[in-house]
Structure 1
């Protein structure tokens, strides 16, 4: 590599990514004195006593809790239409108030014209206050806005206490502006809990207000 003027070796330019400034992004843990998430308050007041009675926990630290929530938008169409990935990146950031991470293909698939390392989606991992804020909007606002909503599947657990919810259209979130989208993507929401069994995780989410189908 040729040296720059003055004998210094030029540094490799880092990948810029998408230069969006999300209005709700929090650089640090929010300081909201006096405010408690309704869903978190429900966990403390209702979930903890109910779970302790139902499963007879001896140690309060073993009572299941929500640890993190991972939101993922996968876009195979982004191979041909890169603009879709940029739009989904912006939408996911506005929904969560946190800057997303671009996901890439782990291997090449010739049939789909997919090469290893290509950008195919965006994801966000939420913890602590951001996690409870998102649960508020999901349970109290977004899911009730779903067309012909009859509840979510009670079987979408992975055997280790984690629940995955598939959302067909992200328009159920009021932060989404349909006029800025060329196509309406779906989204996967994976709720990770500390429960060791699916029955315990199902009871936790049910007491939090997850509308499972009967």
Structure 2
């Protein structure tokens, strides 16, 4: 592995999202679950357009999400990957080295018990990866693209997950 510390991948953020499709009591349960899993208050996501077949109107709350950074992100990601049995499919990693995966049942997390009054909810986890120096593409003044030799690849992310989290990146979704 390369010893250059500027080439070492790192987690920029982890976004935990639950799309419920409606507001009300179900959305409140989802918010409670995300808060319990992440120890962070979620925000509500709103519909961007009308979908009459599902009874969704633009601006109506339909889900919730929270963004984790630093140690919180790393700690949550470790727990979420354990629920996935430390295996993610190769197709989950995009061309920029970011990856996403879904968890079908929130009760798969340690310490979370099934509550018949709440039910079972699924959630999506999206991880944005970067290398030191990626700030140049985000700064408002004089932003520049990341050069191809410094950009993250799916292979870099797979190797990082193997080394840091003992995760096996599999070719097909062998669940």
Place the TM-score, normalised by the shorter chain, in its bin. Answer: 0.7 to 0.9
Q: 1:74 to 1:175 in 2, by over 3 A?
A: farther
1:211 equivalent to 2:168? Answer yes
| Contact 2:45–2:64 (Cα < 8 Å) also in 1 | yes
Structure-to-structure mapping, 1:129-208, within 5 angstroms: 129-139=71-81, 141-144=82-85, 151-179=87-115, 181-194=117-130, 196-208=152-164
RMSD, matched Cα? 2.0
Count of aligned residue pairs for this structure pair: 150
- Name the TM-score, length of structure 2 as normaliser: 0.77
In 2, distance between residues paired with 1:95 and 1:169? 12
Deviation, 1:165, is: 0.8
Deviation, 1:181, is: 4.4
Residue equivalent to 1:122: 64
- Partner deviation per Cα, 1:91-146 (whole Å, 9 max, x = no partner): 1001001111111111111222110111111101000111122123234x4334xx
- Name the TM-score, length of structure 1 as normaliser: 0.64
Q: Secondary structure at the match of 1:152?
A: strand
Residue equivalent to 1:87: 29
Structure with the higher helix share, 1 or 2 = 1
Residue equivalent to 1:66: 11
Structure with the higher strand share, 1 or 2 = 2
In 1, distance between residues paired with 2:60 and 2:117? 21
In 2, distance between residues paired with 1:203 and 1:61? 16
In 1, distance between residues paired with 2:112 and 2:123? 13
